[in-house]
Amino acid sequence: MRMYDLIMKKRNGGTLTEEEISYMIAAYTADRIPDYQMSAMMMAIYFKGMTQKETVALTMAMAQSGDMMDLDGIEGVKVDKHSTGGVGDKTSIALTPMVAACGVNIAKMSGRGLGHTGGTIDKLESFEGFSTGITAEQFKRQVNEIGIAIMGQTLDIAPADKKLYALRDVTATVDNMSLIASSIMSKKLASGADAIVLDVKTGSGAFMQEEEDAFALAREMVTIGNRAGRKTIAVVSDMDQPLGCAVGNALEVQEAIATLKGEGPEDFTELCMTLGSYMLIAGGQAEDEKEARKMLAAVIADGSALKKLEMFVQAQGGNPAAVLNPDLLPKASIVEEIPAPKDGFIGKIDCQEIGICSLILGGGRETKDSAIDLSVGLVLHRKTGDAVAFGESLATIYANDRKKLDMARERFLNAYHITEEKVQKNALIKGIVTEAS
Ligand code: URA
């Protein structure tokens, strides 16, 4: 088989066979196909697209390009959750203890933040000593013992995706539905869970800015997951404004803890209840959403979800005292309000810009290896549709550097649009995509 022939076939609108796709991915992972040929292939796919069969074959080939996590040693149904990423998305930190407290095993692999979106691992490291660098054996033991473990990408999970993603990033071939779906699902399939609940974001802070594209991506991923024998469901949710109020690592952890005490922001709590319900149904613990919601509300009310977070933090080396006393989390030295420049209603919020404000303050990475400041960020006091009067606080800003604070404040004010007319609040849940829908 020659890569040249495969590129030409795709360039001319042909359909690649499963054998051709497996050959191409295996050879590229082993450095037997150069980046320039794979770049040409990515561009041909970008313009000519892939059939669903091709996308499934690409996903399976990428999933099998490295370690396939074997979770057989863990009892019960293992449920994973994945978000396509956004601003203020601390969902995993609150949701996974809620679901684990209801009896569904959480064996999850998470990543770090890059660019304007945060990552679960960075946020969890706000607990002093917390580590996701655990072995596969420890990981499985912990899930069996306490029902929840999160590990970093320490295994060689989907190395083909790692190489391809870096290549797509510099060849303008990231935003293709088949390529995104296969990239995400290859890692999920290799991570070994029996069921996968996806949170596909749409809006100005998301990868898929248009709702229609988010639904198409959701459908593609649900099909891939179910064809691979994993029960997969997707929730399409709003990312046209940050999720909840906190943006920044330790601040988001604090908000997740508040949510486990029943004191979280309404939108964030609702998203956890929705995703959690589908995780309980997929894990066989609830018959329907009504029953699942009741169970999730109960573990918040009786404190068992919060207790589960405490056990999880302790098991992975973090300071569990910070769960009960969030004052022990990293703290910024400068705390200031951002007053509204005029009366009105909050209109559009440029969500990505809010993520960038946190990045400017030091809360995100400019490059893969930069250190981050866990204590900085913002807590929003007004969101889309809310009224505000001149001088009232739009947000509190947490910083450790005056210059960075000034830069972030200026960008924040440009990202927050205040209008004279009241603006409709966005619907949080845009829809649910199942195999049958
Ligand atoms: N996230 C991924 O893992 N891959 C993509 O292609 C896009 C988002």
Residue having the nearest C-alpha atom to atom 7 of ligand 1: 180
- C-alpha span between 424 and 238 (Å, rounded): 14
What is the Å distance from ligand 1's center to 206 Cα? 12
For residues 23-45, average pLDDT: 97
What confidence category does residue 370 fall into, taking pLDDT thresholds of 50, 70 and 90? Answer: confident
Residues with CB under 6 A from ligand 1: 165, 174, 179-180, 183-184, 207
229 in Cβ contact with 235 (< 8 Å): no
Catalytic residues: 82, 161, 168, 183, 187
DSSP state of 363: I
pLDDT value of residue 208: 86
Which of 46-55, 73-82, 237-246, 360-369 is the least confident region?
Answer: 360-369
- C-alpha span between 159 and 65 (Å, rounded): 6
pLDDT value of residue 435: 81
Taking the CA of residue 183 as reference, the ligand 1 atom at the shortest distance is 4
Which of 110, 180, 221 has the most ligand 1 atoms within 8 A of CB, as the residue to mutate? 180
What is the Å distance from ligand 1's center to 150 Cα? 19
Residue 116 has pLDDT above 70, yes or no: no
Taking the CA of residue 187 as reference, the ligand 1 atom at the shortest distance is 3
Taking the CA of residue 180 as reference, the ligand 1 atom at the shortest distance is 6
CA 268 to chain CA centroid, nearest Å = 14
pLDDT value of residue 293: 98
For residues 341-370, average pLDDT: 89
Strands lying side by side in the sheet with 429-433: 148-151, 105-109, 78-83, 195-202, 231-238, 429-433
What confidence category does residue 175 fall into, taking pLDDT thresholds of 50, 70 and 90? Answer: confident
What is the Å distance from ligand 1's center to 322 Cα? 32
Strands lying side by side in the sheet with 377-380: 246-247, 377-380, 393-399, 334-339
